Structure 1
């Protein structure tokens, strides 16, 4: 080739163990899941391998296709996925990301599952949606013991068995959730789908606006029964082998999350069983929602880690103006700021996972999860945009993978309640469960005296919470501050001094600009960036 075609100053491919993340591993050990480290690294090496990354890339580039009818005109309502989607699902299910804590309740089980999800999400985020819904469905299903007896073991099975067949004849099941309707959105009480008693169940009629992973085996859904809004379990295939009357109207053309099928569906006399009591649909399904909200935090956290590792990797090999980018002060400030944000998210995500399933920590988890869902998921898109910019024009090109992260990031803030819903839910938790406020501050104040900037912010937060004037108008500012003091408390107690000091100085002490890359001069950027070197 002529010399003009010589390729120089390009960054080598990034192949690494995704689980080799100090903040994550520290959290795993701290939350009692150290026993899962070997499996976590096994999954991390696959996620960071050429094979794992290829599965994710190709699954994203070949989105699912809806087949409403077969060649003869019969209604089939099936969705075709690329084979690599099934490979991703097989690994996720095989490693228990979908339900392992429900079949193995040893200490740290939920933290181990969360860590594995953080790692495996580095391949392709789309397939995590049905994984998350299956994880969240099990505790909701336990509201009706007879249904849990039949289906829980199959939902928790480590075998991925794709295809529409009678659920009880399969080796393993995947569950979905169908709540929102076009006239209501987050206001699920406005749902118009009806449920009429019939035999040992109910017949449902209505139109659902968003139903992800419509090829799942079972769905939890909301409908208006004679006794009010209620929760139901609908199989795609009925026990007699016939297809349930669930018709797929179209797949959504989404900004991101493209490997996952999100659909509009019609219930035209679909059959389902009541879960819980009539009129108690929201309290019944909210347990599922709260667990999927945890996975929203985990998803955003994973995207941040992916973005910052890619940015640091690029800056470590790319030269400009005679020096590697990573050594240039302006870039070092940006990278360090991104690392701090990522580590704060990882630390709080693992703390929430560790509190899951522990009755003594449910008051803390109730409020801390709503607060963290709001803030961590809000930080995702701006973090992804800044990390993409670290790659310059290369980051704007699809081959870099950064545009996929950027498109995916907004979803986590929308899924299971957008920013306002999450912020108002935090206010609701404080109003209805005052013990959650006490538990939250008990956690935060474990770091009292360790950093004056944190102490001052906690004191100010208490004063702001003491007034109810315009509290809904102030909801976002209050919840943002709560999230920051929770992250600050955790980092002061558990993170290296360079990370904790940078966080407290910028996020709590006010020595920070508006954009990333505005940390104060005294910050040890090298020590911080080293936390993200793959």
Structure 2
């Protein structure tokens, strides 16, 4: 007798099983001393991370670093941490500009959630910044170890890695000036030393984070129109601040002798303890370190936002308003009015853009690494979902078109992850040395001993990595949302928000813009290619091309046809740039990014697969080459872009 259909209800009928999530990384030493790297790869949900760590870190370093990444990849799945990520995104920062009776609130205008503070503390205690500066670790690539932690932590961090990335950049900048004499800024060396110590601390009770304030209304990423001004205080003004008890930071150190005034239109990490900013002096655009708060020695009653019972207030800084953004909800991003902030000049007057580039190089790598980490979580959700979700009577993994689609997305993810970590490894090698960071690893054939070559290669590839990986990750997360159908489009904050791909997508979109859009990165690559100071203006052939050919020689025995294809694509790139004018390079900017990404990613995947011939790595390398690295068509575009984009009736100067 046929079963009588029963109507479903809120308590009866079909209920989808919650997917099971495998930890992202499993360290062999944490399970068994006899466990092989290949077995660890099989047990880790993110096998490309396993391969990257084994490629760039020697065995003894993996025994030190591996357990930390192993533990963190499990911590990010704990209900308490998942709950923090949800609460940071839903209990968003608020601004309280005025006191009860309408005075400007200089004490505690910004409120952030307890969850946001907890996530920042985890960032610090897990060493997401500090490990890169631990000079006791001299025999492995500290940057690779650092970003191994960052890779597994970021999806749960609710953008708390944004202030950490700027803290990382500020620490790098200050490290270059710790030995600078005070000169005409008495007390600067001690202030810089204490700030650096706190920026790289692994103790949440001692640690500081740093903001980075460059963006103004005049030009976004173009800082040439900076309207923020800085001038040296005269002795009378300094004496007046001393008389009023407004001359010390929260630690009792002297405030800097420079006064800064202006308006910053977009400043992330507004809850940081210090900031690095650009301001114009009589000598040009200069860089400054500015404490966020100062002591108020004349006030005896501490306010809500004061520290350790000591009355403090903002250091000439007023939060004008908080930005209402598409994503990154827990991250306080603000417009700031600066009136009489006191700070310290970093380096030389008029050299601020050069100084700030030390931060940009770090934060652009962080932007790419953070994006690909979000993509990793998205694909993890897709894998888990495909193992429990049925469509037309079969589990999703039994549908060949679905598996083909997800395999293609995984290939792109592996390529982006390899490209990001190559930039990270170059950064670490340049900061340490080839012998310290590369010797006795599988990357010996991948990273040149020649420091000049390495520095030039990283300079060329950093904007490529920033541009291409962030966009690829955003596109990849959109595909992950589609994989889940309607579930993917919802803000799933239940079950710890582990299924909330919409949030990851919103957040990762910020990285495509933050620290420079794709067009800005393309312009940067163009400047590198035409710069006569770098490889005599021939970096594509003598540095990049040389690197490609050298690495491919190690891969040719296993991937001859693929190597031939990549070299053909290289020839396309050389033809495009050889004797090209600055205007031609500028016009082809995005095309150049595509070439450099495809060639580099192919080389890295082929090299990785060549180290052990592992089946999946070999399939991925070959598939990437034939799908993404094949030579471009020689089609020459005609100059009809303006008509295509703006229409045939458009006339320059017209708004119609």
Q: Which residue of 2 aligns with 1:377?
A: 470
Mapping of residues 90-101 of structure 1, within 5 Å = 90-101=121-132
Deviation digits for residues 392-426 of structure 1 (CA, Å, limit 9, x no counterpart): 11111111301112212221110101010111111
Please report how far the alpha carbon of residue 440 of structure 1 lies from its aligned counterpart in structure 2 after TM superposition.
2.6
Please report how far the alpha carbon of residue 43 of structure 1 lies from its aligned counterpart in structure 2 after TM superposition.
0.7
Give the whole-Å Cα distance in 2 for the aligned partners of 1:304 and 1:288.
24
Mapping of residues 38-57 of structure 1, within 5 Å = 38-57=67-86
Please report how far the alpha carbon of residue 48 of structure 1 lies from its aligned counterpart in structure 2 after TM superposition.
2.3
Give the whole-Å Cα distance in 1 for the aligned partners of 2:289 and 2:72.
32
Q: Does 1:485 align with 2:485?
A: no
Mapping of residues 119-518 of structure 1, within 5 Å = 119-145=152-178, 146=189, 147-161=191-205, 171-198=206-233, 201-238=257-294, 241-359=312-430, 360=451, 361-399=454-492, 400-432=499-531, 433-435=533-535, 436-437=539-540, 438-445=542-549, 446-448=551-553, 449=556, 450=559, 451=562, 452-469=564-581, 470-495=584-609, 496-509=617-630
Q: 1:335 and 1:461, CA in 2 relative to 1: closer, same or farther beyond 3 A?
A: same
Give the whole-Å Cα distance in 2 for the aligned partners of 1:14 and 1:67.
42
Q: Which residue of 1 aligns with 2:446?
A: none
Please report how far the alpha carbon of residue 112 of structure 1 lies from its aligned counterpart in structure 2 after TM superposition.
0.9
Give the whole-Å Cα distance in 2 for the aligned partners of 1:177 and 1:339.
34
Q: Which residue of 2 aligns with 1:520?
A: none
Give the whole-Å Cα distance in 2 for the aligned partners of 1:15 and 1:53.
13
Q: Which residue of 1 aligns with 2:14?
A: 8
Q: Is the 8 A contact 2:7 2:13 kept in 1?
A: no
Q: 1:310 and 1:467, CA in 2 relative to 1: closer, same or farther beyond 3 A?
A: farther
Q: Which residue of 2 aligns with 1:515?
A: none
Q: Is the 8 A contact 1:368 1:440 kept in 2?
A: no
Deviation digits for residues 294-346 of structure 1 (CA, Å, limit 9, x no counterpart): 00110111111111111121112111112111221211121011111111111
Secondary structure (helix, strand or coil) at the match of 2:337 reads strand
Q: Which has the larger radius of gyration?
A: 2
Deviation digits for residues 84-121 of structure 1 (CA, Å, limit 9, x no counterpart): 11221111100111332123353211111111111111
Please report how far the alpha carbon of residue 373 of structure 1 lies from its aligned counterpart in structure 2 after TM superposition.
1.1
Secondary structure (helix, strand or coil) at the match of 2:314 reads coil
Give the whole-Å Cα distance in 2 for the aligned partners of 1:248 and 1:16.
43
Q: 1:151 and 1:386, CA in 2 relative to 1: closer, same or farther beyond 3 A?
A: same
Please report how far the alpha carbon of residue 430 of structure 1 lies from its aligned counterpart in structure 2 after TM superposition.
2.1
Secondary structure (helix, strand or coil) at the match of 1:255 reads coil
Return 5+ residue gaps in structure 2 as ranges.
Answer: 1-5, 26-43, 179-188, 239-255, 297-311, 431-450, 493-498, 610-616, 633-656
Mapping of residues 63-102 of structure 1, within 5 Å = 63-71=92-100, 73-74=102-103, 75=105, 76-102=107-133
Q: Give me the TM-score of the superposition, normalised by structure 2.
A: 0.73
Q: 1:444 and 1:239, CA in 2 relative to 1: closer, same or farther beyond 3 A?
A: farther
Q: Is the 8 A contact 1:247 1:267 kept in 2?
A: yes
Please report how far the alpha carbon of residue 159 of structure 1 lies from its aligned counterpart in structure 2 after TM superposition.
1.8
Q: Which residue of 1 aligns with 2:134?
A: 103
Give the whole-Å Cα distance in 2 for the aligned partners of 1:344 and 1:125.
25
Aligned residues: 502
Q: 1:507 and 1:272, CA in 2 relative to 1: closer, same or farther beyond 3 A?
A: same
Secondary structure (helix, strand or coil) at the match of 1:158 reads coil
Corresponding residue to 1:25 among 43, 46, 50: 50
Please report how far the alpha carbon of residue 292 of structure 1 lies from its aligned counterpart in structure 2 after TM superposition.
0.2
Secondary structure (helix, strand or coil) at the match of 2:408 reads helix
Secondary structure (helix, strand or coil) at the match of 2:22 reads coil
Return 5+ residue gaps in structure 1 as ranges.
Answer: 162-170, 512-534
Give the whole-Å Cα distance in 2 for the aligned partners of 1:92 and 1:442.
39
Q: Is the 8 A contact 1:77 1:247 kept in 2?
A: no
Give the whole-Å Cα distance in 1 for the aligned partners of 2:278 and 2:52.
36
Q: Which residue of 1 aligns with 2:612?
A: none
Secondary structure (helix, strand or coil) at the match of 2:97 reads strand
Give the whole-Å Cα distance in 2 for the aligned partners of 1:160 and 1:66.
24
Secondary structure (helix, strand or coil) at the match of 2:267 reads strand
Give the whole-Å Cα distance in 2 for the aligned partners of 1:51 and 1:413.
30
Q: Give me the TM-score of the superposition, normalised by structure 1.
A: 0.90
